[in-house]
Amino acid sequence: MTRLIRCRAAVSEMAKLFDARPDPGLSWRPTIWPGEKAIVVIEGAQGRQLRALSWGLPQDALSKARGDGVRTTLFAREIAGDNSPLGLGLLERCLIAAEDFAYPQGETGQRTRSWFGLWDVPICA
């Protein structure tokens, strides 16, 4: 999972692009770190909705019993196993609206951010 995303688009722009109805009073920061609010598109009973939800996974989502180090890719079966407080039925798919996302690049202690995105479109998910 990336640790930094950027979304500087207007609500009207995202609503049009994703054909989604925004929640009233939708707000977020343009540069988003895990734990902060990110704009997501969710399919609801009345169509697509734009919402601001906390981005990231619960701290107990990773199993220390396996001896894994810090990981960047998780699968639903790994965070919603039999002993997990999260059940697969509680997991909900969504699109995270983003302009671009960053990864660190370079030697330890000298890293800079490398931004990735679709430069020919303003917002992707």
Residues 20-71 pLDDT 10s: 999 999 999 999 988 899 999 999 888 999 999 988 766 555 545 555 565 5
For residue 11, what pLDDT is reported? 93
Pairwise CA distance, residues 81 & 66, whole Å: 13
Which H or E element spans position 81? none
Residue predicted with more confidence, 122 or 78:
122
Residue 75 lies in a domain: no
Residue 39 lies in a domain: yes
Return the residue matching tokens 């704009």: 39
For residue 94, what pLDDT is reported? 83
For residue 18, what pLDDT is reported? 93
Residues in the chain: 125
Q: Quick one: 36 exposed, middle or buried, by C-beta within 10 A (0-12, 13-18, 19+)?
A: middle
Q: Number of structural domains, the chain?
A: 1
Q: Give the structural domain span for 102.
A: 4-61+92-116
Residue 86 lies in a domain: no
Pairwise CA distance, residues 88 & 58, whole Å: 14
Pairwise CA distance, residues 14 & 17, whole Å: 5
Average pLDDT value for the chain: 79
Residue 38 lies in a domain: yes
Residue 81 lies in a domain: no
For residue 55, what pLDDT is reported? 83
Residue 121 lies in a domain: no
